[in-house]
Each structure stands twice: as structure tokens, then as C-alpha cells.
């Protein structure tokens, strides 16, 4: 298995078919907070999360879905979009609210990264709470070329996504060490993400708060519960996967 990391959607190479050298799996990460929210939404019973980079497309798709079976989740600049049912907070997700419903979601950064790799045959989303579950799924599916894709902030690097990318890669390397199949790091960015993980593995919430986007969230309100939730490691077994373009379901 070859493992590469791309810090933002803008740095992702052209997606080619695996037969032409492209990846057979991609893992999208947006720790603060889209992929954490996606994982908790599916774990708490949402039928699916449908992701959109464009709000007009979200509105059109949501309008075509039965009103009693849909929720709109929208965030820009860390804040919920006016008039939407949800923002981008995993702690706002309750079984009573989301069970059986499709969540139509658009966020500042994470949904753009999902769009960048939607053509990859196996597309998963990861966060710190499900990092080992995702790594185990990739290994069991015998993926050969894995791209881990961060979301950053409006095109810029983000510390917290690199932390989680390193966490997933570290779990993969641990699994590989106990098996007969090797895994190797395929680019410099992945080595840096591993270094970030090793630096902050014992204080993941400290890393999230030190990151520029963590500072941004603290500046716009009390997000203590979100930080604690997003920083929890291996607290979920759910593995969101792309069941059809843009639509994420629980494996």
C-alpha cells in the first residue's frame, strides 16, 4: 500500500483510473468540523449525508426530497447559514433530530475536498474519532494506492487536518507491521503529517485549539464541546463511504 497526503483540494492531482496510475481509494478529512459531523450524523441514524460545494445545487436537491425526511446543514466562515436546520457542529447531532433523514450539507472547505476526489473508486471520510476504523477498512479492502486529502481553510494548509491524516496513516502502518503486506509513505507531505501526529497524539485537543482554524472558532463563540468531540480518538466505529457521487452512507 502506498499512502500519500494532499493538504487541500487545490493540491490534489488529476484523478486517473487505477489502471492508469490513479488511486483506488481516497480519504477526505475536515477535522473542524465537516467529516466529524458526517461521522456522527451517520452513527446517530441519518439515512445519508449528501455533500455540495455549491449552495444553489444543494437547494435544488433538497427541494426534490420529501420535506419530512430532509435537513439542510450549511456553514460559511465557521457559522451556520441563516435559515438552515444545522450548521457544522457534531454536538448538535442527536438521534431524535437526524434518524432516517438525509442531510444536505455544504461547508466552507470539506465539501470542496469531497468534490475533488469523487471519481476515486473508494471514497471514505475520516476524523480523529474514526481514524482506526477507517484504516482497518482500507486494509481489509486491500487498497493499493491511498490518497488522504485534507480540507484546509480556503485553500490554505491546516494543522488539524494534517494531525488526523497522520493519525490515519499511523494506524495503517501499525496494521501493516502486524501483517505480511507492506505499507509505505509515498510523499513528503505524508511524512510531515505523521510528524504532526507524533507531536500531538497525547494532546489532540491542544493541537486543534492551537491551529489557526481553532483560533478562529474560539474567536466567534464557545465551541468547547465541539473541540472535545472533534479531538476524541477512536471513539467511533462508523466508516462513511461514497455510495453514489456526493452521497455518503454508513458502511
Region 25-49: mean pLDDT is: 96
Q: Are strands 247-250 and 79-80 parallel, antiparallel or unpaired?
A: unpaired
Which residues on neighbouring strands pair with residue 83, listed in sequence order?
A: none
Q: Which residues contact 135 (CB under 8 A, 6 or more apart)?
A: 168, 171, 172, 175
Helix/strand/coil for 192: helix
- pTM score of the predicted model: 0.95
Alpha carbons 238 and 251: distance in angstroms, whole number:
7
Which residues on neighbouring strands pair with residue 103, listed in sequence order?
A: 49, 71
The predicted pLDDT at position 180 comes to: 82
In this predicted structure, the answer to whether residue 108 has a pLDDT above a threshold of 80 is no
Q: Are strands 48-51 and 102-106 parallel, antiparallel or unpaired?
A: parallel
Q: What is the DSSP letter of 92?
A: G
Region 26-45: mean pLDDT is: 96
Amino acid at each position: 500500500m502506498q499512502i500519500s497526503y494532499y493538504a487541500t483540494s487545490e493540491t490534489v492531482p488529476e484523478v486517473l483510473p487505477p489502471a492508469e496510475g490513479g488511486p483506488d481509494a481516497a480519504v477526505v478529512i475536515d477535522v473542524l468540523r465537516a467529516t466529524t459531523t458526517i461521522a456522527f450524523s451517520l452513527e446517530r441514524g441519518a439515512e445519508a449525508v449528501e455533500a455540495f460545494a455549491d449552495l444553489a445545487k444543494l437547494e435544488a436537491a433538497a427541494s426534490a426530497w420529501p420535506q419530512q425526511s430532509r435537513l439542510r446543514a450549511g456553514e460559511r466562515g465557521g457559522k451556520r447559514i441563516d435559515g438552515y436546520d444545522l450548521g457544522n457542529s457534531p454536538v448538535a447531532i442527536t438521534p431524535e433530530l437526524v434518524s432516517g433523514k438525509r442531510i444536505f450539507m455544504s461547508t466552507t472547505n470539506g465539501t470542496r475536498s469531497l468534490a475533488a476526489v469523487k471519481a476515486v473508486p473508494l471514497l471514505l471520510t475520516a476524523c480523529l474519532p474514526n481514524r482506526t476504523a477507517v484504516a482497518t477498512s482500507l486494509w481489509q479492502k486491500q487498497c493499493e494506492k491511498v490518497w488522504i486529502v485534507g480540507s484546509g481553510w480556503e485553500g490554505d494548509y491546516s494543522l488539524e487536518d494534517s494531525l488526523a491524516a497522520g493519525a490515519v496513516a499511523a494506524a495503517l502502518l501499525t496494521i501493516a507491521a502486524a501483517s505480511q503486506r507492506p505499507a509505505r509513505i509515498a510523499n513528503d507531505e505524508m511524512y510531515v503529517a505523521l510528524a504532526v501526529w507524533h507531536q500531538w497524539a497525547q494532546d489532540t485537543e491542544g493541537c486543534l485549539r492551537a491551529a489557526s482554524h481553532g483560533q478562529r472558532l474560539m474567536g466567534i463563540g464557545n465551541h468547547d464541546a465541539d473541540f472535545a468531540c472533534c479531538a476524541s480518538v477512536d471513539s467511533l466505529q462508523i466508516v462513511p463511504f461514497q455510495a453514489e457521487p456526493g452521497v455518503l452512507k454508513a458502511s
